[in-house]
């Protein structure tokens, strides 16, 4: 939930690190800090607040003729877990003797025991964080060899960590290690990097190594060495990142979220291409023998879970196979009834979500084969799952997912169609017809994006609502879940999604004047039902926003507003509904003037439980 970066090279580390932190700020943004190896040892500045507060502090130091500068440094942007956001709890942390400085992403589960042990030996702690124990323990162990020290510290830690470590006796050396949290190593012609994610280094290099758990990276300006924890050298191959810096820039849009919404036609085309022609995804799909399974279990968190709920309807309809969808945070502890005949599908943009990783390991421990749908190459889930297919969304920076969600849906559809064919539930002609329809989706998404102005205008009238409910039936209900999540996470308006038929079993008592109900309607045979739900809430004072390709309603009364979507088969309609829902949420939040890309209390990758 935090972002870390480190640099050793011939450039001044300060601007390099600050620039990298900007690309990592999506991971956490309640405080930030930097340490460089300066003329007189470590110089550290850390501040509560957004990165911009740290930048202001660095500028004022410059004005006071006390600029921070050095060729070796580490930086951190934080999402607080242990200890409130404050200057003192911000990273980097040092040991009491100021000999070792550390940035940490993760959670140290045994920090209390370590802290107590060190306190009994006279060490004084200054912060409330779990991370400080790493620096203090490192100083406790240190006797001249920082690499051995990092290995010893790693052996003593329980929990998850990606660490960047500097030592006062090593002005040219950066050491890194990780367990259960991501860390990449970047190799450039002016120096070397560690970082939580590729965008942080992409301006300098497209050559990265993905560090595996408990591998140690030792970086100098001109070389990088890797070791295992027995200090045996490891040979690792650098991978070339094929996407460019543009993906990590706003490109003239006011927010990453809007940019990412607008990118969806291309993302869908690329994802479809990789799965239906001869791309890597296609090869993986061809290798999965669906016939051996009698059940599918989909597990994920947040929006990825919502994609799973949509998929359940699609799989059951096309494949006539039983599908369960479980929140990963529940699945991991519920002793699920799964075995080698269950295909467990994990969906995750980041591939690093702690609960989804745990769910995957739980599935494996019960011999259930795992198939992951992931966006981030080299992520933990991508590496550990038995099969992995990738969404071609490129880096997604906004905390609220849009393009990765749409790409997940597409892969789930294609998976369902391929499985249905393999199971003999559809004939080759039907399979081809469905694939052709999938291929038509990007253009239909573009059609909706071309009408952005009308959604923007309508959304601007909705900022005063205290509560907004989302309803739908069948697959429209599944996508209503995503509409509601999107709205609440970025606009801070209370919102819930319900199956249309469920409203009258309790929730309708919350409907009054100044309530908006968003009704999804893409099912002709359920049209009358959802419309009678709409009438029920209107007669209790609510306004209704209708989204779907059902017959156009009379908007004269002012009680309805209809965003009409292009025609598409019902099972694929979520791919179109979600575009309207994303734009609606985005413009409600934008009209409220909120920090859309970094909503309060959230972070992009939830790598803690
Ligand atoms: O990286 P993941 O897809 O595993 O993340 C899962 C959720 O944390 C994520 O979808 C979250 O709900 C988003 N902020 C929703 O926009």
C-alpha distances in angstroms, 224 versus 211, 273, 547? 12, 36, 54
Quick one: tokens of 524?
A: 């002709």
Helix (H) or strand (E) holding 94: strand 93-94
pLDDT score of 608: 74
Cα–Cα distance for residue pair 38/44, rounded to 1 Å: 9
C-alpha distances in angstroms, 209 versus 224, 341, 377? 10, 36, 12
Going along 382-514, which residue ranges are E strands? 387-390, 467-472, 494-499
379 lines ligand 1 (CB under 6 A): no
Cα–Cα distance for residue pair 473/534, rounded to 1 Å: 12
DSSP character string of 192-224: EEEESSGGGTTTT-SEEEEPPTT-EEEE-SS-E
pLDDT score of 242: 82
Among the atoms of ligand 1, which is closest to the Cα of residue 303? 10
Question: Per-residue pLDDT tens for 109-136?
Answer: 999 999 999 999 999 999 999 999 999 9
CA of 603 to the centre of ligand 1 (A): 9
442 lines ligand 1 (CB under 6 A): no
Helix (H/G/I), strand (E/B), else coil: 71: coil
350 lines ligand 1 (CB under 6 A): yes
Ligand 1 pocket: which of 27, 302, 600 to mutate (most atoms <8 Å of CB)? 302
Helix (H) or strand (E) holding 354: helix 354-365
Looking only at the bridges linking them, the beta strands covering 515-520 and 467-472 are parallel
Helix (H) or strand (E) holding 439: helix 428-450
Cα–Cα distance for residue pair 277/55, rounded to 1 Å: 47
489 lines ligand 1 (CB under 6 A): yes
Helix (H) or strand (E) holding 431: helix 428-450
Cα–Cα distance for residue pair 73/76, rounded to 1 Å: 11
Helix (H) or strand (E) holding 268: helix 264-276
**Residue stretches of the chain with pLDDT short of 70:** 555-556
pLDDT score of 464: 93
CA of 33 to the centre of ligand 1 (A): 26
401 lines ligand 1 (CB under 6 A): yes
pTM (predicted TM-score): 0.84
Q: Give me the catalytic one of 259, 312, 444, 604.
A: 604
By the 8 A CB rule, do 195 and 4 touch? yes
Strands across the sheet containing 100-108: 93-94, 100-108, 159-167, 174-179, 216-219, 224-227, 233-234
CA of 183 to the centre of ligand 1 (A): 19
Annotation marks residue 604 as catalytic: yes
Helix (H/G/I), strand (E/B), else coil: 303: helix
CA of 509 to the centre of ligand 1 (A): 31
Q: Give me the catalytic one of 2, 301, 319, 550.
A: 2
- Burial letters 241-264, b for 16+ CB under 10 A, else e: bebeeebbbbeeeebbbbbbbbbb
Residues 6+ apart with CB under 8 A from 499: 471, 472, 473, 477
349 lines ligand 1 (CB under 6 A): yes
By the 8 A CB rule, do 356 and 348 touch? yes
By the 8 A CB rule, do 378 and 210 touch? yes
CA of 263 to the centre of ligand 1 (A): 18
By the 8 A CB rule, do 493 and 510 touch? no
Quick one: tokens of 466?
A: 């205290």
533 lines ligand 1 (CB under 6 A): no
CA of 348 to the centre of ligand 1 (A): 7
pLDDT score of 488: 97
397 lines ligand 1 (CB under 6 A): no
Among the atoms of ligand 1, which is closest to the Cα of residue 602? 14
Q: Is there a cis peptide before residue 437, judged by omega within 30 degrees of 0?
A: no
Ligand 1 pocket: which of 353, 356, 384 to mutate (most atoms <8 Å of CB)? 353
By the 8 A CB rule, do 268 and 320 touch? no
Helix (H/G/I), strand (E/B), else coil: 494: strand
Looking only at the bridges linking them, the beta strands covering 159-167 and 174-179 are antiparallel
C-alpha distances in angstroms, 569 versus 34, 43, 549, 565? 53, 61, 10, 12
Cα–Cα distance for residue pair 394/544, rounded to 1 Å: 35
Annotation marks residue 222 as catalytic: no
pLDDT score of 512: 87
308 lines ligand 1 (CB under 6 A): no
């Amino acid at each position: 939930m935090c972002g870390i970066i480190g640099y050793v090279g011939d450039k001044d580390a300060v601007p390099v690190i600050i620039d990298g932190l900007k690309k990592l700020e999506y991971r956490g943004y309640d405080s930030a800090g930097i340490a460089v190896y300066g003329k007189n040892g470590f110089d550290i500045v850390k501040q509560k607040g957004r990165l911009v507060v740290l930048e202001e502090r660095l500028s004022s130091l410059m004005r006071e003729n006390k600029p921070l500068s050095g060729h070796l440094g580490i930086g951190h942007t934080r999402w607080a877990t242990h200890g409130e956001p404050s200057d003192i709890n911000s990273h980097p942390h040092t040991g009491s003797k100021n000999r070792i400085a550390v940035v940490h992403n993760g959670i140290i589960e045994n920090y209390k025991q370590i802290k107590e042990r060190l306190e009994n030996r006279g060490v004084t702690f200054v912060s409330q964080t779990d991370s400080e124990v790493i620096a203090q323990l490192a100083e406790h162990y240190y006797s001249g060899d920082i690499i051995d020290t990092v290995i010893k510290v790693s052996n003593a830690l329980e929990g998850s960590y990606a660490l960047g470590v500097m030592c006062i006796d090593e002005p040219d050396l950066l050491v890194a290690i990780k367990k259960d949290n991501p860390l990449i190593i970047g190799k450039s012609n002016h120096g070397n990097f560690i970082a939580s994610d590729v965008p942080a280094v992409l301006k300098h290099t497209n050559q990265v190594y993905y560090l595996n758990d408990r591998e140690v990276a030792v970086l100098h300006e001109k070389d990088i060495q890797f070791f295992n924890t027995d200090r045996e050298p490891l040979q690792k191959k650098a991978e070339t990142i094929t996407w460019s810096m543009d993906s990590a820039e706003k490109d003239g849009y006011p927010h990453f979220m809007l940019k990412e919404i607008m990118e969806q036609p291309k993302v869908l085309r690329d994802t479809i291409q990789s799965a239906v022609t001869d791309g890597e995804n296609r090869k993986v799909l061809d290798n999965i023998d669906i016939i051996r399974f009698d059940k599918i279990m989909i597990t994920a968190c947040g929006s990825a879970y919502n994609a799973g709920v949509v998929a359940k309807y699609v799989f059951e309809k096309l494949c006539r196979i039983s599908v369960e969808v479980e929140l990963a945070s529940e699945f991991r502890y519920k002793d699920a009834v799964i075995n080698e005949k269950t295909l467990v599908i994990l969906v995750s943009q980041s591939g690093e979500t702690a609960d989804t990783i745990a769910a995957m390991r739980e599935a494996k421990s019960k011999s259930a084969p795992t198939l992951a749908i992931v966006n981030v190459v080299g992520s933990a889930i991508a590496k550990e799952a038995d099969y992995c297919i990738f969404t071609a969304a490129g880096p997604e920076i906004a905390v609220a997912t849009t393009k990765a969600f749409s790409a997940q849906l597409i892969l789930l559809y294609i998976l369902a169609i391929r499985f249905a064919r393999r199971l003999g539930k559809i004939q080759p002609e039907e399979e081809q017809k469905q694939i052709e329809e999938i291929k038509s989706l990007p253009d239909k998404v573009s059609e909706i994006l071309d009408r952005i102005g009308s959604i923007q205008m309508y959304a601007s009238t909705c900022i005063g609502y205290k509560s907004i409910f989302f309803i739908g039936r069948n697959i429209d209900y599944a996508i209503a879940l995503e509409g509601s999540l999107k709205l609440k996470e970025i606009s801070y308006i209370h919102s819930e999604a319900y199956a249309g038929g469920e409203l009258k079993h309790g929730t309708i008592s919350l409907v009054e004047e100044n309530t908006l109900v968003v009704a999804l309607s893409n099912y002709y045979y359920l049209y009358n039902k959802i419309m009678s739900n709409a009438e029920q809430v209107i007669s209790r004072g609510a306004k209704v926003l209708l989204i779907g390709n059902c017959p156009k309603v009379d908007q004269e009364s002012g009680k309805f507003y209809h965003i009409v979507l292009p025609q598409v088969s019902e099972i694929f309609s979520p791919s179109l509904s979600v575009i309207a829902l994303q734009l609606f949420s985005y413009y409600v939040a934008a009209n409220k003037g909120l920090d859309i890309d970094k909503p309060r209390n959230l972070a992009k990758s939830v790598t803690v439980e």
